[in-house]
Every structure is written in C-alpha cells, then in structure tokens.
Amino acid sequence: MREIDRRSKYDRRVFLKGAAVTAPAVAIATSTGLGITDAWADEAGTLTPATMKTLLKVARDIYPHDFLGDSYYITAVKPWDDKAAKDPAVKSLINDGVARLDQEANERHKMPYAQVAWENDRVALLQRIEESAFFQKIRGDLIASLYNNKEVWPRFGYEGSSAEHGGYIKRGFADIDWLPKA
Amino acid sequence: MAKFDLNDSGVVVIVGSGAGGGTLGNELAQKGIKVVILEAGPRIENQDFINDEWDSFGQLAWSDMRTTSGSWRVHKDFPNIPAWIVKAVGGSTVHWAGASLRFDEHEFKIKSAYGNIPGANLLDWPITLAEMEPYYAKAENKMGVTRTNGIPGLPGNNNFKVLEAGAKKLGYKEVHTGRMAINSEPRDGRGSCQQIGFCFQGCKSGAKWSTLYTEIPKGEATGNLEVRPGSMVIKIEHDQSGKVTGVVYADETGAMQRQKARVVAVAGNSIESPRLLLNSASSMFPDGLANSSGQVGRNYLRHMTGSVYATFEKSVHMYRGTTMAGIIRDEAKNDPKRGFVGGYEMETLSLGLPFMAAFLNPGAWGRSFTSAMEGYPRMAGMWLVGEDLPQETNRVTLDPNIKDKFGMPVASVHFDDHPNDVAMRDHAYKQGAAVYEAVGATVTYPTPPYPSTHNMGTNRMSEKPRDGVVNKFGQSHDIKNLFVSDGSQFTSGAACNPTLTIVSLAIRQADTIAGAMQRKEI
C-alpha cells in the first residue's frame, strides 16, 4: 500500500520566518534564541499575552493531539486577537470566558487555568463551562481552524486535493493488501 | 443560444436546473418546446470545482438562511443548515454521489404493503413500477448507469474492498460497486472515472452525470433552451381564471423581472419548491398555490440516514477514489420481522479530514474524539440510507419572522424521527458495525445523520386531490399549467437514493407536458 509520509512538514524555522514578516516580536525571539512559546502571545494587540496563552492551552485540551506541536494550535487560536480588535463583543466574550475559567481554576486549584498541571483537571474545569457561549465559540471555531489547516492534513494521513495529480487511479485507490481472502 | 423575451408567454418556465429541472428542460427542448430555466445559483463549470471540502461548500452549497425545529439532531448541530444541497446550475446533480437505483415494486405502494402505522401518513403512489420501468430504462441510458445497458461496474476502491470483505463474512449476497451514473468507460462524450474522490465537491473530470454538462448544454444546442443563472424566483403569478401566467424573479443584479409563461414547472428541491408555492399565496389562493389540500410542505422526507465509520489496525485510505461506488443491498427488502417496515441500503462513504471533524460527532471534544480522528487513515466508512415514513407534521413552512434579502419569508424545516425510523437506524448501526467487525475493526462509530442530502415529499403525488399536491404526472391538482418536477413529488421515499427516480419522472413529465400543449389543454 502507498502510505502517507506523516513527518512534520511544518518546519519550525520556516514557520518563524513566515511569521516574522508581520510579527517582529517573533523575529526578536528567534534572534535572541528564545522559544516561540511566549513570544507569539506577546504580539497580540488586543488580548493580553496571558489570555492568548490560556486560549492555546484550552485549544490543546479541547482537541488534544500529542503528535501536533503547539505551532498548529497557535495558528488556530491567533486569529482571535484580530477578531477581538474588530469586534468589542468578541473581545469581552474571550476576556470574560478566560476570566471565568481562571476563577473556576483558582477556586479549585489555587492557580490560573493554564497552570493547572494535569489535563484531566483542566478538562473537568472546561466541562463546567461547556454550555457557555465562550466555550462553544472556541470549540466550534477549532473544528475549522485546526482541522482545515492544510499543514495538519498529512499528519493525519489525509492527502487533500487529488485532481491535479490525476486522481488516485494510478496512486493507490485499490492498493489495500491486508484483507482476509474472501 | 436561445434568448427569450420576458413577455414571451409561450415559454415553459422551469424553476431550478437540477435532476428534475435540468432534465425536463432538455427533454422539452428536444421536442421543440421553448424553455426558460431560472436557476438561483451561478454557473460554475467543472474545471472550477475545488477539491477542498470547506472551500467547495462555500462555492456550491445552498447557504441562504433557513430555520429548523423538531427533535432531529440536525436542528441542534446545524440549526440553519437543514440540507446539504447545491445552489448552482446543475443543482444537486453537481454534488450527488451518482448512486442510481430503481424503487422496488412495493415502494410505490407502501400503504398497501405496510398497512396502517400510527403517526405515519402513508399513501400509495398513483403510479406503479410497471408504469415507471420504461422511463427508468430511458434514464439509465441517458445517465450511463453502470451495470445497465452493458456498462461495466466501476472498479472497487479500498473502502469498497473492506465493505465487500466484511459483507461476505457476514453472509450478505448482493454486494457490488453499485449502479452508478459515473462512467466506468468513456461514454456520451465524457471520459471515465479517474478515482479522484471529491464526488460531493463536483466532478472535475465530468465522468459523473450532472445536468450541468449533459442535459443543459444538449438542450441549449437545440436553440430552444435558455438558462438564466443567478435568477431567484420569488413568486408565481396567476390570472383570474386561476391559471399561472408567469413568475417574478430577482435577476443577477437583484433587479425584479417578470417572465411570462404558458406553463410553470417548479423544481427547486423539496425545501424551496414548497416555499415558493407558499410564498405565492394570493387572494384567490390564500394558503399558497396548489394547496387546496393543505398538503404543500407536509410529509417532508429526508431518508433514515446515519453512517458507520470503523478503524482498523492497518491503513485503508477510504477517501481515495469514487466516494459511493459500493453497496450492500440485502437489507433493502421489506421484512417486518426486523422490527420495522421498509428497508435500507449500505453504501460506501468517505469524508475528508475537515468534514470528518465536523460530522463524526458534532459538538464532541476531548480525547475520545481526537483518538477517533487520529484513526483517520485506518478508517473505512459506510452510509446508511433507508425509507423514512411520511408524517404530516414533518413539514416545510414559512418562517414567521425571518425574511430573505428580497423580503420573502425563509423556509423553516420541522422534522421528528418516526419510531420506525429509529428502529431501522438502530438495526442499521448494528449491521454496519458487524460488517466491519467481521474483518477486524478495532472500534466502530455510529455517526449521526448529516444535514439532509435527500429531500423529498413536500408536494406529494396522490390519486385523490385531497391527499396530496400533484397528480401522477406531477401536474398540480388545482392548477392545470403548474407542475412540480423534483423530488418533492415523491409520495414516499423508498430505501434507495432518489435521483434516478427524479430523472425518470422528469422524462415522463416532458411527454405529458408536450402532449397537453399539443392538444391545447395547457
């Protein structure tokens, strides 16, 4: 069978370089040898870096794929900063949602959400706000912003558009070789 | 190409260009009758189709505002997308999978076959299989259906091979790559299937039959057919005698136009067609056109549907190749011993990763969901499609509050499963899982219905005017020169995919309309 190369093509260096065009903070982070982990959140103009980092954690906890690095989730949640800048209602939805989540975390664990160590404990906090507009918006958006990212597809063994390659007629549409003989 | 005057009152106006409207338009044009097809969507040719699920959805899907109610899960998950159908020239024949099956004999007479079922509004069709057979044959030939007319079946893809191996282990007998209106060899000026996948996103090679590049250009070549894209019909008008005289539509620029007509045929799919009849209410017809029975919009059918996906130890790559070229027919029979009347088909189905995320279990999150997603390349999938029972309360109505940009009330779709639908779905989930478990599935996923692709029944055929909206030719009981030409004519839905029957009815209706025009009856 023709298998898919599932190694990450989301080259870290290219990701940073691409981001640097519009994101000087990342460029500085790169040049100073810092990780991207914090730098990407610092460039947010409307939402605070802490809020952005909480959104990243929330996104990972909603759709946890351990073989995906943070870069994919950052790509998915970063647009919320722009949307918040354009729409005050979105800004307060995010800020209020994160504040409530942190409050739930503080009451139970004496620390903000993003610092709660175990995923199970964070998921329990998310379940408490599952019906909220904040959670539903973030979750619903992730379905497209995470899974409709073409960079993610090969990691899941999905090949995407095929017509320009002549379809699969010569590329393994019927190459399954492990079925029991009928 | 023909161009008809707005004041030409000799034309047949067809609303919609899909399986019903596109076929009827060509058939009439071939007989020398002048036809104007008004299509709400744009004209998008094959080379512009997109092999990308969300981008294609944005390009093709009917996404105008609609509302929903009822206990069906689509209402909760996709409250404003009751149906996954197309707004473009070719209608949903752009998006359809190609499965082309005939109804069984009993499926034309379910009241006689199933008896009285509480909560259901069963009725026999005013036509029989025997009457339909010559038209089915014409449709199969026109569409190039595999396993008919000496056309070989399509080759099986990986997803089919898994289905076939499981079905055989279970002892199912009728298992093959389907009767598909997809060329397995070049035919009718179109090439053979390149196993591209993305059948639902528009066939870029043109191997799959669609009115967009078969019926419509053939009709246009006669000089008798004019297709006007971007033309949303908002009202059908009539004179004092009660005969329809034409339609008012918004053209590509949004300007209102009035096209006169000798005959109007409505083929806007089973949500828009009743909406248009209801929105055409007048002082003479206060409940809407063709609605003296009160049945316009009622008995909405969407098929009992569901899917089963299964994950295996090794790769399947189900998305490679023809999406629906695979079927198990053994459960399509009517065998009430299973705990329900009617039957269902099991057909191969695959979704790309983006739609799998959206449809596998809408709203779900956390590790059980992501674990399922991570099995994607090792998944096989099937669609379950069976007969749902007509119920008067399953219904398309006009939304009391929400209007479209032309000021017309939008359609609201109410649906509740009948207990028979639920029993059938439970049986189908169990059998679907068993097929895959027989060949080593490690986990199976009973996946809920997607927004409806098969929409039927909202202007149903009936022998007696009080039981339905149109007669056995799709001619409205109330208004002689008003026809319904899409799946909304269906008296009942049968187990199989509806398109072949819609096309067959359209071919038959063209004979009726041409004859009646010749005899000056309309």
CA distance readout (Å), B209 to A63, B90, B99: 39, 10, 10
Reported in sequence order, the residue ranges of B142-252 that DSSP labels E, i.e. its strands, are: 175-176, 225-228, 232-238, 244-250
CB distance B216 to B227 below 8 Å: yes
Angle (nearest 5°) at CA B180 between B176 and B185: 100
Taking only residues 98 to 157 of chain A, the set having a beta carbon closer than 8 angstroms to any beta carbon of chain B reads: 123, 139, 143-144, 146-148, 152-153, 156-157
CB atoms near residue A94 (< 10 Å)? 24
Cβ distance of A179 and B377 shorter than 8 Å: no
From chain B, pick out residues whose CB is under 8 angstroms from the CB of A144: 54, 354, 358
pLDDT of residue A14: 44
Cβ distance of B156 and A175 shorter than 8 Å: no
Taking only residues 360 to 419 of chain B, the set having a beta carbon closer than 8 angstroms to any beta carbon of chain A reads: 363, 365-367, 369-370, 373-374, 376-378
Cβ distance of A173 and B320 shorter than 8 Å: yes
A182 — pLDDT class (breaks 50, 70, 90): low
What is the tens place of the pLDDT at every residue in A87-109?
999 999 999 999 999 999 999 99
Taking only residues 426 to 465 of chain B, the set having a beta carbon closer than 8 angstroms to any beta carbon of chain A reads: 439-440
- C-alpha–C-alpha distance, residues B142 and B147, integer Å: 14
Tell me which residue in A63, A169, A179 faces B439 most closely, judged by beta carbons: A179
pLDDT of residue B163: 98
pLDDT of residue B260: 98
From chain A, pick out residues whose CB is under 8 angstroms from the CB of B196: 162-163, 167-168
From chain A, pick out residues whose CB is under 8 angstroms from the CB of B436: none
- C-alpha–C-alpha distance, residues B229 and B235, integer Å: 17
Nearest-CA residue of chain A relative to B367? A64
A9 — pLDDT class (breaks 50, 70, 90): low
pLDDT of residue A28: 43
- At residue B77, the 3 state secondary structure works out as helix
User: Can you name the residues that pair with B327 across neighbouring β-strands?
Assistant: B176, B347
From chain B, pick out residues whose CB is under 8 angstroms from the CB of A159: 317, 319-320
Helices assigned H by DSSP within B189-233: 215-221
From chain A, pick out residues whose CB is under 8 angstroms from the CB of B439: 179-180
Range with lowest mean pLDDT among A13-27, B64-78, B274-288, B409-423: A13-27
What DSSP assignment string belongs to B145-202? -TTSTTPPPPPP-HHHHHHHHHHHHHT---EES--BSB-SS-BTTB--------GGG-
User: To the nearest whole percent, how much of chain B has pLDDT over 90?
Assistant: 100
- C-alpha–C-alpha distance, residues B491 and B500, integer Å: 15
Angle (nearest 5°) at CA B149 between B144 and B150: 110
Q: Which residue has the tokens 């539509």?
A: B249
What is the tens place of the pLDDT at every residue in B206-218?
999 999 999 999 9
Q: How many residues can be counted in chain B?
A: 522
Inform me whether the pLDDT recorded for B6 exceeds 70: yes
Q: How far apart are the first and last CA of chain B?
A: 26
What is the tens place of the pLDDT at every residue in B376-425?
999 999 999 999 999 999 999 999 999 999 999 999 999 999 999 999 99
User: Can you name the residues that pair with B258 across neighbouring β-strands?
Assistant: B248
pLDDT of residue A27: 43
From chain A, pick out residues whose CB is under 8 angstroms from the CB of B435: none
Cβ distance of A176 and B161 shorter than 8 Å: yes
What is the tens place of the pLDDT at every residue in B44-56?
999 999 999 999 9
Tell me which residue in A63, A161, A167 faces B195 most closely, judged by beta carbons: A167
B126 — pLDDT class (breaks 50, 70, 90): very high
What is the tens place of the pLDDT at every residue in B468-483?
999 999 999 999 999 9
Q: Give which of A67, A137, A162 to mutate to test B binding, by max B Cβ within 10 Å.
A: A162
Inform me whether the pLDDT recorded for B337 exceeds 80: yes
Determine the distance from the C-alpha atom of residue B15 to the mean position of all C-alpha atoms in its chain, rounded to a whole number: 15
CB distance B333 to B355 below 8 Å: no
Inform me whether the pLDDT recorded for B185 exceeds 50: yes
Cβ distance of B377 and A156 shorter than 8 Å: yes
Cβ distance of A147 and B373 shorter than 8 Å: yes
From chain A, pick out residues whose CB is under 8 angstroms from the CB of B377: 4, 156-158
pLDDT of residue A37: 61
- C-alpha–C-alpha distance, residues B130 and B105, integer Å: 8
How near does any CA of chain B get to the CA of A151, in Å? Answer: 12
A30 — pLDDT class (breaks 50, 70, 90): very low
Tokens of A92: 């307060």
Q: What is the dihedral of CA B237, B241, B243, B244, to 10 degrees?
A: -10
CB atoms near residue A12 (< 10 Å)? 13
Interface membership of A166 toward B (CB under 8 Å): yes
Tokens of A6: 């599932």
CA distance readout (Å), B31 to B34, B214, B515: 9, 17, 10
User: Can you name the residues that pair with B238 across neighbouring β-strands?
Assistant: B244
Listed in sequence order, the residues at least 6 apart from B332 whose beta carbon sits closer than 8 Å to its beta carbon are B104, B343, B344, B345, B386, B495, B496
A16 — pLDDT class (breaks 50, 70, 90): very low
A25 — pLDDT class (breaks 50, 70, 90): very low
What is the tens place of the pLDDT at every residue in B204-247?
999 999 999 999 999 999 999 999 999 999 999 999 999 999 99
CB atoms near residue B45 (< 10 Å)? 13
Q: Which residue has the tokens 């393994």?
A: A172
Q: What is the pTM of this model?
A: 0.95
- C-alpha–C-alpha distance, residues A108 and A125, integer Å: 9
Tokens of B80: 């404003």
What are phi and psi for residue B147, nearest 5 degrees? 65, 15
pLDDT of residue A36: 55
Nearest-CA residue of chain A relative to B366? A62
Tell me which residue in B156, B204, B367 faces A163 most closely, judged by beta carbons: B204
CB atoms near residue A33 (< 10 Å)? 6
CB distance B353 to A63 below 8 Å: no
Cβ distance of A167 and B196 shorter than 8 Å: yes
Nearest to B84 by CA among B54, B108, B104: B54
A5 — pLDDT class (breaks 50, 70, 90): confident
The arithmetic mean of pLDDT across residues A69-83, rounded, is 97
The arithmetic mean of pLDDT across residues B70-86, rounded, is 96
Nearest-CA residue of chain B relative to A131? B363
CB distance A174 to B157 below 8 Å: yes
From chain B, pick out residues whose CB is under 8 angstroms from the CB of A148: 53-54, 354, 357
A100 exposed, middle or buried (CB, 10 Å; 0-12, 13-18, 19+)? middle
CB atoms near residue B257 (< 10 Å)? 16
Tokens of B294: 């009160």
- At residue B31, the 3 state secondary structure works out as coil
Nearest-CA residue of chain B relative to A161? B51
pLDDT of residue A21: 42
pLDDT of residue A7: 78
From chain B, pick out residues whose CB is under 8 angstroms from the CB of A63: 365, 369-370, 373
Cβ distance of A172 and B316 shorter than 8 Å: no
Report the mean per-residue pLDDT for chain A. 88
CB distance B346 to B384 below 8 Å: yes
Cβ distance of B162 and A157 shorter than 8 Å: no
Tell me which residue in B53, B353, B365 faces A62 most closely, judged by beta carbons: B365
